[in-house]
Structure 1
């Protein structure tokens, strides 16, 4: 089966990176209630580091030419990189440490320093765990490169080097030691747990909405691309239509079917950010869990049109509408957006949802308190 570079890029970067990052964000909200301040910066740095390592080790993908598969793409001699550095320097220390060969070795060490730092500083793990994670992560990278992305590419396009296992592991250990030295003077990277009862800010609600749209766009496009690749060649002429149907199908599943099956009526994006829609009540009154009719109105009024626009490559229109929704919600005292008004819902945190089991008696939530502040769209 012939898989184009664009599809590999889509699946390995645009799809796998968010899949790895979004549960990390959801885990923070589930365990700590809020994600803000210094601890949020550390969490964001960890997510960006994961994306950076993925991009650095896999991309760019070279053109599919015969020249790309020429040469040996496996280096299995331990310490061969050290010999290369010494050879490049011709016995001169300054020349050796300023050579391209030394820079390559140093880069492999530096690449895993943040991993070791985060393992010690954020996750409070010991040196043996750090070394094993460095070795395991490096081994996964080398296997990916040495097997041509596990057979997705015609041949290896990066050199799988046994020395990288040692230099990457050394970098992780160095990062752990740096964290030991400076971690005492830095603020705690672990956020304090707070009851997530206050009304969610518009930014958090907007990120949940973006997550739902991104999931539909990425997963739908990946499914559409796979279907066209598996079909006969004439099917490629209908790629746009296939993508449209796939994107709408994913949106249908994540923003209509899943909420109808869940007791809290939350979309997948809202689940990630520990949010849920509640049926709007009179000012000062308590909220109730949203019903199926609210979910259907929300889907028909927003998610379906947005998915169709993304499917026909009008994502810019969706972004503009989201901005307008955020502005409209920002000017209201209760922070309800037009989507929420249409659906008859107000977005609240899952912990504050009436009847939520979180170790305390449910407390009523007012429509005003569920509004929150900040900027961004809301539903």
Structure 2
């Protein structure tokens, strides 16, 4: 499997974990997602995944003679500018490797200047430190995970990688007047949240529930023995899913002052009563009974599709109302507002 494919796989695994904190910050600062900021953030995550992939992969198969005939000189190249001899001797392939090392770290320098506003000395030091971590990881066989190194730690890589970081920083400075700001200025977020934002909060709840359940089952599977067997049973999966859903959609809102579920917290929302105060606890229990309890029953019986259909119908009904209140809000006499509205109301009443 090539490093490019591994990069995409890592990206797909990392994004669900990284996207929720980033989305929360976007809505906390701006009240919506900024397209260019999203692109820059995704590019940074993709680059980090690529750096990990090119550092570690392809992983070797350890055989009995894996470390036979290996010497220190095969694992650590400590003579500066030895790559020049390789270029003279091998020509194109060696030159391509040197250029790849430069190109690999250029995005790091670019992001340090463009996204994080680091000066050239700091960017150079960070590029050098990152490259040093890469070379130590390779030269120590992933810190002893393998019996001996399978990649060469090369002092020339430190120089070419650092050079790439410097060139990337200079490129970002050159394009500073052309590119839009990587991070926009904070804005007010007291207007009523739209249906798309509320719908995405529901999707955030489902993602949080799914990731939490997966993490619990993975931990039990790694524990081995009876716990692994228990995690593999269907009834345990259903019970664990129910426990996680109840915790996220009932217990957490009851404990939080703004009555938000995890998904609503991510999208910077709060559940208030008609006067702008936090919804009373009985109303939160009613919201759970009206919406999340049917969701639990449908997902537990394998009818997840009906959850999405029901959410769509509820959204369409709310769209027909001028106040955009959903059946859930009408039944519990609550409304979904932005957390900025909740904070402003709380501050004014102190």
**TM superposition score normalised by structure 1:** 0.70
2:332 pairs with 1:340: no
How far did residue 85 of structure 1 move? 7.7
Match of 2:182 among 189, 204, 217: 189
Match of 2:238 among 237, 244, 252: 244
Match of 2:120 in 1: 127
The 1:146/1:351 distance shift into structure 2, 3 A limit, reads: farther
1:16 and 1:204 map into 2 onto residues whose CA distance is 23
1:260 and 1:140 map into 2 onto residues whose CA distance is 45
Helix, strand or coil at the partner of 1:277: strand
How far did residue 16 of structure 1 move? 5.2
2:228 pairs with 1:230: no
Q: Which moved more, 1:44-53 or 1:170-179?
A: 44-53
Match of 1:214 among 203, 207, 215: 207
1:76 and 1:107 map into 2 onto residues whose CA distance is 19
2:53 and 2:99 map into 1 onto residues whose CA distance is 19
Match of 1:33 among 30, 35, 43: 30
Helix, strand or coil at the partner of 2:337: strand
**TM superposition score normalised by structure 2:** 0.74
Is there any run of 5+ residues in structure 2 with no aligned partner, and where? Answer: 1-6
1:112 and 1:308 map into 2 onto residues whose CA distance is 50
User: Between Structure 1 and Structure 2, whose CA radius of gyration is higher?
Assistant: 2
2:282 pairs with 1:293: yes
1:1-379 map, 5 Å = 17-30=15-28, 32-37=29-34, 40-54=35-49, 57-58=52-53, 66=62, 70=66, 75-78=75-78, 83=82, 87=86, 90=89, 92=91, 96=92, 99=93, 101-139=94-132, 159=151, 161-162=153-154, 164-232=157-225, 235-236=228-229, 238-239=231-232, 240-279=234-273, 281=274, 286-306=275-295, 318-353=307-342, 356=345, 361=348
The 1:207/1:190 distance shift into structure 2, 3 A limit, reads: same
1:85 and 1:170 map into 2 onto residues whose CA distance is 15
Helix, strand or coil at the partner of 1:184: coil
Would you say the 8 A contact 2:140–2:149 is kept in 1? no
1:85 and 1:48 map into 2 onto residues whose CA distance is 32
Q: Which moved more, 1:303-312 or 1:204-213?
A: 303-312
Q: Which moved more, 1:102-111 or 1:264-273?
A: 102-111
Cα deviation, 1:225-261, whole Å, max 9, x if unaligned, reads 2213324258437514433333333333333222211
Instruction: Count the aligned residue pairs.
Output: 334
How far did residue 265 of structure 1 move? 0.7
Match of 1:370 in 2: none
How far did residue 343 of structure 1 move? 4.1
User: What RMSD in Å do the two structures reach over aligned CA positions?
Assistant: 4.1
Cα deviation, 1:337-377, whole Å, max 9, x if unaligned, reads 3443444432211111275456xx47xxxxxxxxxxxxxxx
How far did residue 49 of structure 1 move? 2.5
